[in-house]
Amino acid sequence: METEVQQNQAQQETDPTPESAVKHLLSFALMIGLTLVAFAAVMLEVVPAGMVIPFILVLAVIQVFLQLFTFMHLDLKNNRMTVTFVMMGLIIGAICAVALFVLG
């Protein structure tokens, strides 16, 4: 972390294109890929009928974690409090969603 900051400072003066954009572009390519696979799974009927819904849900969850940890710069070591609150939000949200779904 420290060294990264120092690198950024050094690059600011010399090189206007630090390497970090590569990580984001890579993550973006992965997200597009996951989205394409999800749409293909539904439209082309390549996945066994009973497996489609779990399959696309897993793809969605992977994509969300990509967003959280690359685009939103959430990292487990330095933002423990933030991660705790987000996870609490997710857990309470999941309980509410399932409860409403089951009751309905």
Nearest Cα to 2, choosing from 78, 102, 99?
A: 78
Q: Kindly report each contact of residues 59-63 with a partner whose C-beta sits within 8 Å and lies 24 or more positions away, as own/partner.
A: 59/34, 59/35, 62/34, 63/31, 63/34, 63/35
Among residues 2, 46, 48, 68, the one that binds other proteins under rule CB under 8 A: 68
Judged by the rule CB under 8 A, the positions of this chain that interact with other proteins are 5, 8-9, 11-12, 16, 18, 20-21, 24-25, 28, 31-32, 35, 38-39, 42-43, 52-53, 56-57, 59-60, 63-64, 67-68, 70-73, 81-82, 85-86, 88-90, 92-94, 96-104
